[in-house]
């Protein structure tokens, strides 16, 4: 009988952190399954990984819908193999003054970053717990720890996701399921951040080296925590450049 594939399912995996995690786990021998709103947006990543000889699958999912999440996990388990690692990386970094934060905006921020994280984490646990092994990863942010000016919606969502991850870790740890919450207390070195900085008048040439966190460094942190021995698990890890003021 052939050995089952090691499968990593990355939900909300975009072109920055998600793509970097996909590459790191693919290099480590995992079959990587990326799930985002539109699977076709992962075509370039898939072509890159396949060209390097790595196994890759892309799925479309709306992580805010319970039925979609359940269908995603069932498909991956049936079509690819048993999931060993699950990353939840969805969220919308909304910055709006309080009086401009509508009910709809607040709810959508919470629904995407917190509620969807609960749905994905719970579904992952439903497969991992019976097998008695596995890792569930959640991406946090500075907003997971403090509510900044203009970030009422985003902070509420990220605070909530942190609570979900903490509760899961305490419940699932004794069942040999490692739950990790990675707080990225930094600007991420990505095209989206570069555009945001340029829009705010920052000359990218003036940015000091290593003042933004590389997506490869974030991926390496997730790879590290997944491989920790059970007697020394990290639940929460904060990641930032040495130059970051905190």
pLDDT in tens, 33-61: 999 999 999 999 999 999 999 999 999 99
Question: What local confidence, expressed as pLDDT, does residue 1 receive?
Answer: 36
Mean pLDDT of 124-144: 97
Mean pLDDT of 107-136: 97
Question: What local confidence, expressed as pLDDT, does residue 199 receive?
Answer: 67
Residues 6+ apart with CB under 8 A from 105: 94, 96, 153
Q: Answer yes or no: is pLDDT of 108 > 50.
A: yes
pLDDT class for 110, splitting at 50, 70, 90?
Answer: very high
Question: What local confidence, expressed as pLDDT, does residue 246 receive?
Answer: 82
Instruction: Find out whether 114 and 164 touch, Cβ atoms under 8 Å.
Output: yes
Distance CA 21, CA 10 (A): 8
Distance CA 139, CA 181 (A): 6
pTM for this predicted structure: 0.92
Instruction: Find out whether 158 and 144 touch, Cβ atoms under 8 Å.
Output: yes
Q: What is the mean pLDDT of the chain?
A: 92
Strand partners, 188: 213
- pLDDT, tens only, 167-198: 999 999 999 999 999 999 988 887 777 776 67
Q: Answer yes or no: is pLDDT of 112 > 60.
A: yes
Residues 6+ apart with CB under 8 A from 41: 14, 15
pLDDT class for 126, splitting at 50, 70, 90?
Answer: very high
Distance CA 246, CA 237 (A): 15
Distances (CA, A) of 97 to 9, 92, 100, 105, 137: 35, 15, 5, 12, 31
Distances (CA, A) of 32 to 21, 76, 172, 222, 236: 9, 10, 24, 14, 24
């Amino acid at each position: 009988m052939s050995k089952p594939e090691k499968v990593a399912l990355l939900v909300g995996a975009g072109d920055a952190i998600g793509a970097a995690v996909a590459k790191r786990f693919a290099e480590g021998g995992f079959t990587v399954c990326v799930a985002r709103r539109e699977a076709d947006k992962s075509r370039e990543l898939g072509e890159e990984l396949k060209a390097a000889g790595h196994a890759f699958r892309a799925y479309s999912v709306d992580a805010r819908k319970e039925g979609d999440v359940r269908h995603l996990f069932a498909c991956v388990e049936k079509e690819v193999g048993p999931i060993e690692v699950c990353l939840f990386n969805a969220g919308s970094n909304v910055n709006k003054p309080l009086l401009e934060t509508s009910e709809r905006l607040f709810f959508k921020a919470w629904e995407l970053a917190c509620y969807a994280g609960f749905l994905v984490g719970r579904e992952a646990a439903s497969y991992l717990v019976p097998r008695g092994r596995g890792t569930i990863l959640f991406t946090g942010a500075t907003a997971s720890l403090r509510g900044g000016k203009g970030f009422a919606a985003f902070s509420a969502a990220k605070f909530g996701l942190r609570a979900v991850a903490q509760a899961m870790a305490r419940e699932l740890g004794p069942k040999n399921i490692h739950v990790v919450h990675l707080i990225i207390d930094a600007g991420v070195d990505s095209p989206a951040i570069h555009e945001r900085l340029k829009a705010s008048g920052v000359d990218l040439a003036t940015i000091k080296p290593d003042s933004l966190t590389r997506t490869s460094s974030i991926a390496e942190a997730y790879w590290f925590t997944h491989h920790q021995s059970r007697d020394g698990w990290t639940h929460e890890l904060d990641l930032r450049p040495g130059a970051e003021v905190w």
